[in-house]
Chains A and B, each alone.
Chain A
Amino acid sequence: MSRFLRDAAGALVFPVIAIFLAFVIGAVLVLISGNNPIVAYLALLEGAVGSPVALGRTLLNATPLIFTGLAVAVAFRAGLFNIGGEGQVYIGAITAAIVAVYLTALGPVGIPLVLLACLATGFMWGAIPGFLKARFGAHEVITTIMLNFIAINLATYLALGPFRSEEIVPGTRTIETFMRLPLVGFGLSRVHYGLFVGLLAALTVYLLLWRTKLGFRIRAVGLSPGAASYAGMGIGRNTVLALAIGGAMAGLGGGAEVLGVYGKVSIPFVANLGFNGIGVALLGRNHPVGVVLGALLFGGLASGAQQMQFDTDVPLDLADVLLAVILLLVTATKLVEFIIGKRARSLATGTRLDEGVS
């Protein structure tokens, strides 16, 4: 039990320090902008969890981030850096927008099929950088960044070209209401069943990574590629699979956004889900439970910032600044050492975050 508590405390040291410092820096910015940080942060808190509607906004914001956070976390467990979440979201989203229009004959039964299609296209898109790395040694950080832009342009082409609708807002046709993900209710306004799909995805990733042979191999490759290779685990195959599974998660997230929130892909589509997924995964230490918590924090920040902008004149963009600072601080191991001393650091780095990334 004490071991468990120590591990849990260790796992929390980095994220808690990063979040705390980010809020201190944020407070300075709020002061500079001529506002009272306490008033601003209370508004932020109220906007994040102060009412069912606020909580609903937080959950709504958190939903896609669970998927993109998982997309980063799965790859990270194999020692790979998936910066491609943004593009994978677009691929899933455009898949949903196109397929859902053609599956209307099936009625609501078609919804899981649409989501499966998003999963599949995300999987294939994620497999590309995996294949390029395994076969040609092309670094996945660069290829996933480049594939983001290719995906965004591809989705834009499809939405404004062959699948463009006659509707006023440029984009694909709006999906029939019965093909949309239903709302959860409970006064949580627009929270939809995509949230549960996300939680299910997190559970699946957990089971996959820690309860299957494939997951064991992926983690083994991430912890020690040399040893894994010696043990006969094909590094290339696991590289492709880890990035492909990550892509599948982000693709599913893009599809859930279309079916749950937007009903179509209009251009420009939602931005930065993939990049914020990196922060979510790091904050959650690449564990599915951590990812869900990280997504809730990021989602809460985004919805709280709206309230803050309404109540004070602190711009909404403060939320992005806070996220960036958290992201900046969360892997700076030496900074933590600098702040809390060496002994605590060895405790906190029981499982090093930057291990396996080259």
Chain B
Amino acid sequence: MASALSAGAVAFREARTGVLQQSQDSVIRQFRTSVDAVVVDIPPAPSRSHLQKAVHQVLRANQSQGWRVLATYGSLRAYAPHADFDMLSPELRRSVDTTRAAVFQRVNADGRPYLVVGMPVTYNSGEGTESRLSGMVMYLVVPQATEQAYVEAMVSAIEHATLVALGLAVVLALLAASGVLRPVRALRRATRRMAEGHLDVRLVVNGSDELADLSRSFNHMAAALDLSVAELRRLEAQARRFVADVSHELRTPLAAMSAVTDVLDASAPHLNRDAGEALRLISEGTSRLSVLVNDLMEISRFDAGAAELSLDEIDLAEFVQRTLAARGWRGRVETHLPRPGTLRTRVDPRRLDVVMANLLGNALRHGAPPVRLAIGVRQERADMAWAVIEVTDNGPGITEEAMPHIFERFYKASTTRTRSESSGLGLAIAAENVHLHGGRISAANRPGGGAAFTVELPLQTDIAAADHDFTAGAR
């Protein structure tokens, strides 16, 4: 739009200059012709009447053009039709006196434009010689109202044309903008919504331009994405259901098997060596299978989003002592705990018990003594504090390649562990339980050797927050 305007402006100036130049040139040419025709009859030292006659002749030759003519020779002056020659500037007079060519000037008097031309009369002494100033000068004053009117008409014409063009341009621009911008904006909104996980977004396609093509492609992509994500979700749900179903189906035969392990255990010593050994293996396998199935069930509960937090405010130090005591680990774990009664927080005791039992059990099984348990508080911000529970051991630590997978399901850090009594789900369940509390769990190797597992739980001691009956959904 700006370029259109400036182009208009340039064209206008060109046209204006052209109009004025042309009228000026034609006036000067006409004047010179008239003067040339007149001066032939003028003697070298003309009298006032000579001058007057010349003026009249010029005027006669150029009737009805609003000319005013003045002729001077020294102090002699003759003019017609009247004596209004105010716009003859001294500069013009001086320059006419010294040059041999016509001099002109555009003057504005009372808001009206005039062209003033000074034409010195010269003599040619002969071929090849310089012309000589006669001392006689003829002046012409022409009002340029017509030209002005032309220019003004032109300006208004251009103005009108420009306004119309501008209006047209704006309308066209708006149309184009809405035609381009609206679909682009819709596209932007749609991609954003899609990124937020709404895979069902589709664009309205109208027209057959590139934007419509783009919208159509977007819809195709969205549909394809929707389809494959739905397929993935279906497969995932199927896999989860499969795990839940399998572990559930395993339960019934296991229930029958584990109910009789004691009978087997009791009978084993009375049998011969091979049969006794066989019974013992079955009994052990049954208990290991029970642990695995229970862990699988727990994991599939997390997957189904059925795991619930049942919060209770407890004393952490007292709580871990109970966990240790319940499993007979009291003498085997070094504890560095805050004094009882100083660190209380809202947790789900059953779930935290699972976490602690897993970490301590792992350290006792796979690490080397001393196994240490330390609880502290880390103040993150003024309004945010974490209870930090750290379990360390002096064992070989965790290998580098195992580190990133340590909390994954069925990941067993060393192949020698595959025959241990753990299911390979313990740490995954521990991590799920910690996350359910809004906490963090991490594993690292200690500089001096041995593994360190750290659990951080947000400290919540707001008693008024909720009753115990309150349970929060897992997801």
A binds B: no
Residues of B at under 8 Å CB distance from A? none
